[in-house]
Structure 1
């Protein structure tokens, strides 16, 4: 019996030596790793891959909770932005650009109306955007190009007949051409979603009835409105497809 017990003990001695060797090898490799300096490019690729995977699953949580400041880079642009929040973003942009001093923001129900006066954008009777108007649209386009909200461009005109010899036969044609010019610049800036363009002629002149100064009222009626809707423009299903 004694011989058998001694044989069992001696048959397990190699495990101790093997464990010691593995521990020494692990220590050796850790030491080698600590002494090496990884290639900067390889390390950047690893961190970029980890960041991409993290955002795929947890990126939406970054937009939750209160924010100390309004920062457009923190927003999730895969859906239409809240109109109140977008108004705050644009108000901040207006305050930072002198070209937006005469641009007004008005929240009207489920939409935000950005009104640009004629004197900022166009010469009288013309539809080509002036240099200052282009700069103003570039300042606005930096924000608008990054949101998914549906946008409409609405041109307006005063009720006075167009001047004789004008290239546009009616106020409607002039207001539509001005809306198209503004839309073209927004697309140049980077807004790549569908834009709805409307010419309202003098149809909204009556909305300014509370303005007593007639000249001021006429000036405000010659404007272009950028109307930002609360949705992204995708059609909603009224009936379920399975309904017979």
Structure 2
């Protein structure tokens, strides 16, 4: 169930944020079905209306009730399977888009458990060292790279401690080892090299811009 939270966070952070990318609205008939199922899932999971509100704001919280609500909603709409993975039914919502193939082709690589544990340890240390609160760390694990200074400092600290970022605020080639089994590793490397040309006013700004650039453009999504 945790996996569906991560997948949804990745998918929507990559495709549904309001920026230069096009936006597709749910067909009215589908929207009505989702509304009805939302009501059903609120009742079944005993979640508060705020949980549904945050879902529609594309905020995917990791508390147990939010995860159960999301799993219920995506299962009842038949857009994910029993294991919590997206199925091809979701792609039909992008039929009118000329970027449908881009949406469909973007695979996911899960972060190895040993690496995830290292990241969690580094996150705990960086919270203490930077004075950031737990929400900053939660945002990071939801792939929400906030632009406030505490979040930037936390991100810089984390990238340095995990050795995936250098002192200047750029990502290093060590990150590519996480994509070792992907047949699109070369494409990932090109994105990494392109994003590493970013230069902010400070090293902290640079890592923030570089990481956002990478997650926006990488052809393979890294599941944290």
**TM-score band (shorter)?**
under 0.3
Of Structure 1 and Structure 2, the greater strand share is in 1
- After TM superposition, the score normalised by the length of structure 2 is 0.26
**Rg: which structure is higher?**
1
